[in-house]
Amino acid sequence: MRSGATAMLRGLLDRPLASYYLLLSSSALLLTVGLVMVFSATMVESYAQQGSAFAVVVRQAMWALFGLVGFWIAQRLPARTYRSIARPLLVLSILLGLVLVAPNFGNAVVGTDELWIHVGPVQFQPAELAKFALLLWIADSLVRLGPRIASWRDLAVPMFPIVGVSLVIIGYSDLGTMLIIVAMFIGLLWSAGVPLRILATLFAIALAGSALLIAVQPYRMERILSFSRPEDFSEGWGYQAVQGYYAIADGGWFGVGLGESRQKWEWLPNGHNDFIFALIAEELGVVGCLVILALFGVLVYTGFRIARRSVDPFRKLVAAGVTIWLAGQAFINIGGVLGLIPITGVPLPFISDGGTALVVVLAAVGMLAGFARAEPDAASALRARNPSRLVRFLWAPLPPAPRETLDPDTVPTTRKP
């Protein structure tokens, strides 16, 4: 019986478009869960403040719609387009970051309002765009370097200064996002085959930089101090963590029921955003949390599978980078809620309330979907089907025909993700 189920699973995974469908299904389910939980988390406060329980979730659904448009566009673009926009996108994200940081440089505390650019009723968070821009630019730079990635000098100029400036700008106001980008950066270097001695040095520099940024903003040190015993700081930085623990404890194995959370009645701060996993634990219990973790597990497995099966070195690195980004952000968010690591305030991908983050994540997953369609077996299968022009126009064009060999001068030495 077990061998039969294993054989069936292997047969499904061996299908040419398995990566593509796994990516679509896991992302769609996470997005659906996110919209449901945002509605549950915000219905009380939304009704009290705006007279409609649906006001916040409707706004989030509109952002999801924009994100799906971004997904559709992203999966249609070839790899050369991403390589061509990498540098302009990085310059734009750095300039937007400077717009936020410059007026607040030297402040003792940087609040959440300083993380956003307001354009009329629309809020935009440049740090989310910076993740995407840095991912593309770093991957493109590593591919251009090729075998020279083993040289510290060739790797450092100009990559390290640009990445360092970007991380300082982002980390000054948003340490959590900076840590995600650091993990993605080191993961990309490792996937490309950069020697371990260079990775160890960069890791040490990242630790020292994080310590410096914590010292610059005193409230971050207070968060770290309240991490081990939040109950001793329940009147301050430990309050959110304690209320999150209450939510998790109340949920038990099967939860109190969807929509029945007690903590969302103005007890748990940011229950719709960075602490939405606590409300999931309260309403859906351990079982619901395991389902969420399983969906993220499928997503991460699929991302690394796409990276492993991609022939083009740029696609390989970007797929690994997107996967590390999403996995790292989910770990930081859930780890903070569960008390495994200090709280950093980053959203849970696909699920937390937040427009910019959702649009950027869906666009990144759309790019990953395009790479899944470009896997050699998937590309051959799609081209053999020869879909109509209408289907190609409405959904996605045919991927390029798989090539047996690549120019060795353009292929870096890569490790398997």
Instruction: Tell me the pLDDT of the chain averaged across its residues.
Output: 84
- Binned at pLDDT 50, 70 and 90, residue 108 comes out as very low
pLDDT tens per residue, range 172-228: 677 788 889 889 999 999 998 888 888 898 888 888 887 887 777 777 777 777 777
Residue 116, pLDDT above cutoff 70:
no
Q: In the prediction, which pLDDT does 240 show?
A: 81
Domain count, the chain: 1
Residue entry with tokens 């859930």 = 334
By three-state DSSP, how is residue 122 classified?
Answer: strand
Q: Are 141 and 159 in contact (CB under 8 A)?
A: yes
**Does any domain span residue 416?**
no
By three-state DSSP, how is residue 403 classified?
Answer: coil
**Cα separation, 308 vs 353, whole angstroms:** 32
Q: In the prediction, which pLDDT does 103 show?
A: 56
Q: Are 260 and 340 in contact (CB under 8 A)?
A: no
Average pLDDT, integer, range 256-284: 87
**Does any domain span residue 415?**
no
Angle in degrees, CA 318, 322, 323, rounded to 5: 115
- Which amino acid appears at position 114 of this protein? E
Which of 58-62, 367-371, 404-408 is the least confident region?
Answer: 404-408
**Cα separation, 22 vs 9, whole angstroms:** 12
Q: In the prediction, which pLDDT does 265 show?
A: 84
In this structure, the chain runs to a length of 417
| Token reading at 111 | 């609040």
**Cα separation, 305 vs 316, whole angstroms:** 10
**Does any domain span residue 182?**
yes
pLDDT tens per residue, range 221-245: 777 777 777 776 667 677 888 888 8
Contacts with 385 (C-beta within 8 Å, 6 or more apart), sequence order: none
**Among candidate residues 155, 280, 175, 286, the one with its CA nearest the CA of residue 224:** 175
**Phi-psi region for residue 392, left (φ > 0), alpha (ψ -120 to 50) or beta?**
alpha
Return the DSSP state at 411. -
**Cα dihedral value 26, 28, 29, 35, nearest 10:** 140
Q: Residue 340 to residues 190, 227, 258, 265, 287: CA-CA distances in angstroms?
A: 25, 9, 26, 25, 19
pLDDT tens per residue, range 287-313: 999 999 999 999 999 999 999 999 999
pLDDT tens per residue, range 353-399: 888 899 999 999 999 999 999 999 988 888 888 888 888 888 888 88
Is the peptide bond prior to 158 cis by the omega test (within 30 degrees of 0)?
yes
Which of 33-37, 38-42, 166-170, 261-265 is the least confident region?
Answer: 166-170
**Among candidate residues 226, 254, 257, the one with its CA nearest the CA of residue 242:** 226
DSSP string for residues in 225-292:
HHHH-GGGGTTTTTHHHHHHHHHHHHHTTT-S-TT--STTTTTSTTTTTTTHHHHHHHHHHHHHHHHH
- Binned at pLDDT 50, 70 and 90, residue 119 comes out as low
Burial class (CB in 10 A: 0-12, 13-18, 19+), 141: buried
Q: In the prediction, which pLDDT does 206 show?
A: 84
**Cα separation, 399 vs 315, whole angstroms:** 13
> How many Å is the Cα radius of gyration of the chain?
22
Q: In the prediction, which pLDDT does 399 show?
A: 86
Q: In the prediction, which pLDDT does 110 show?
A: 45
| Token reading at 100 | 């936020």
**Cα separation, 23 vs 211, whole angstroms:** 36
**Does any domain span residue 4?**
no
Residue 120, pLDDT above cutoff 50:
yes
**Cα separation, 329 vs 171, whole angstroms:** 15
- Binned at pLDDT 50, 70 and 90, residue 150 comes out as confident
Q: Are 90 and 139 in contact (CB under 8 A)?
A: no
**Cα separation, 417 vs 187, whole angstroms:** 9
**Does any domain span residue 3?**
no
**Does any domain span residue 131?**
yes
% of the chain at pLDDT higher than 70: 88
- Binned at pLDDT 50, 70 and 90, residue 157 comes out as confident
Contacts with 361 (C-beta within 8 Å, 6 or more apart), sequence order: 67, 326, 349, 350
**Cα separation, 296 vs 26, whole angstroms:** 7
**Among candidate residues 176, 81, 188, 62, the one with its CA nearest the CA of residue 125:** 176
Contacts with 103 (C-beta within 8 Å, 6 or more apart), sequence order: none
- Which amino acid appears at position 302 of this protein? T
**Does any domain span residue 2?**
no
Return the DSSP state at 158. T
**Does any domain span residue 341?**
yes
CB 294: neighbour CB atoms within 10 A? 12
% of the chain at pLDDT higher than 90: 40
Q: In the prediction, which pLDDT does 416 show?
A: 53
Domain that holds residue 100: 17-410
> What is the separation, in whole angstroms, between the first and last Cα of the chain?
32
Q: In the prediction, which pLDDT does 65 show?
A: 96
More confident residue, 252 or 121: 252
